[in-house]
Structure 1
């Protein structure tokens, strides 16, 4: 339950914007919040102001969402359309493999590398007997039916769109992240956000719900056909589930084990060297902390454990010093 009674009315740090809740209104607010499945961003900010004992603005709520501390959602006021399905591993995703022989395409380039031959045999398109007979394959092509999310994950969505209504969670994997970032920058007087992803497939909003269903939002074009939407519907509203606020409150109430036993300097240096080695294996250039941090943040989001880019960058900046210390 959203226990607003845990906030002491006489808390010495309460400022005027918070103290207005100290006159008994918190009891009524608690009961009202318990009945709601979601809150507006403004209401979520007021609740967090009480929880933290200090002013929390709408911009702070959006920043918590961007940093992976608070799950943001979207309420489709008039519904939306999307292609939906589960997220599966690339090896389990539906795929199509096509190939032709020299007889079918005499002008083709003969021969395939080992990976292509292995894919054909695993798909039962070529048998071991065929290989023994010296069959040659040309013009090999393979593709996955779905949206590539990275980290070997695929959104295996259906061919047809379906109606989305009610509240869905923002995955922060697609264009919705840029939209939230733009709202945050606008509220804080920041710069305009470049509203495009490097990966075109993810340049569209992606939402999810607790049963594991993911959906890429679609919109109707001039020909009345549906296509991937450029952004969230204009008649949708970003909200915060009360369950997400409970999750945040539960994490804040957990004892900080790290405070009992801080990481020693030597252990920290060892971990940084290990991170550098793993990054090199993954072909991530940690000598450029900002770019590396963005790539690692995206990967952590796909794992369901997002770490903010600025937090990652702060750690990566110490790698060179750690390596130098171990080499001395």
Structure 2
């Protein structure tokens, strides 16, 4: 990576994958990042290349409806559309979650998410949560019947997108009276998926901690644990050398809901003398 990389506050999703691959010496793909984001390990953001439009609101209680994602309800506070720009974080409580899930599924398989979101696309920045809106295109409404039929043949979704009973309740206005409707996906606005630098560094720290946790236990650590077991047995007046003691210890592990077999316990107890000897030298 270029030295200038350190000066950048955010990078593209492709650059993020390359940076992580170099940092942890393991191939990380864009699909991996999409999955990490969907599972809550990585915060994705968008850079709004051009001005976008939105409504302010807050996230409320979780709601669950058939065929919809279980997400927090978005409650609108101000029904006047306003403009936004810059970098905004994905809340993953709207249609953006479906979009991100589709991206990692399409990268690994031909599967596609069929569940939807009732919230539209939701973004967050500095304590402000917004639902993305776009200009309402009335071109279809002004077509004659024949042209409408052709348009629907090319894009069947035009039927419900312009159905009055669906469209009219969704229309909102800005301060100048211009009509807007909710965005269905991120691509409805001019934006690019990005990752903030601080998010990358946090992910690297998480991966390093996980890697340390996955390391096999060393001989020194094992002996320390065995000595500790011996000390606890001694304090509890349990003779770990006593014949058949493993059966009693098996019952004790059952009582705490983390059962160990008689054979496993015997193998552990047999290692105690050598562990004590190593510590007594």
TM-score (norm 1): 0.47
Instruction: Please tell me whether the aligned partners of residues 38 and 100 of structure 2 are also in contact (alpha carbons under 8 angstroms).
Output: yes
| Aligned partner of 1:213 among 111, 128, 135 | 128
Segments of structure 2 that go 5 or more residues without pairing to the other structure are 63-69, 139-177, 222-252, 260-281
Moved more, 157-166 or 182-191: 182-191
Alignment CA distance shift 1:265-1:162 (3 Å): farther
SS of the aligned residue for 1:42 comes to: helix
The structure whose residues are more often helix, as a share, is: 2
Alignment CA distance shift 1:87-1:51 (3 Å): same
| Aligned partner of 1:173 among 75, 93, 118 | 93
**Aligned runs of 1:209-288 on 2, under 5 Å?**
209=125, 211-223=126-138, 224-232=178-186, 233-254=188-209
Instruction: Please tell me whether the aligned partners of residues 47 and 192 of structure 2 are also in contact (alpha carbons under 8 angstroms).
Output: yes
1:75 corresponds in structure 2 to 47
What's the CA shift for 1:155?
3.7
Provide the aligned C-alpha RMSD in A.
3.2
Report runs of 4+ in structure 1 exceeding 6 Å deviation. 255-261
Alignment CA distance shift 1:53-1:79 (3 Å): same
What's the CA shift for 1:47?
0.7
Q: How far, CA to CA, are the matches of 2:254 and 2:77 in structure 1? A: 47
Instruction: Please tell me whether the aligned partners of residues 93 and 122 of structure 2 are also in contact (alpha carbons under 8 angstroms).
Output: yes
What's the CA shift for 1:245?
0.5
TM-score (norm 2): 0.54
Q: How far, CA to CA, are the matches of 2:114 and 2:128 in structure 1? A: 29
Segments of structure 1 that go 5 or more residues without pairing to the other structure are 1-25, 91-147, 271-328
SS of the aligned residue for 1:158 comes to: strand
SS of the aligned residue for 1:166 comes to: strand
Query: Any idea what the Cα deviations from partners look like across 1:116-150, whole Å, max 9, x if unmatched?
Result: xxxxxxxxxxxxxxxxxxxxxxxxxxxxxxxx963
**Number of positions where the alignment pairs a residue of Structure 1 with one of Structure 2:** 176
Instruction: Please tell me whether the aligned partners of residues 87 and 212 of structure 1 are also in contact (alpha carbons under 8 angstroms).
Output: no
Larger radius of gyration: 2
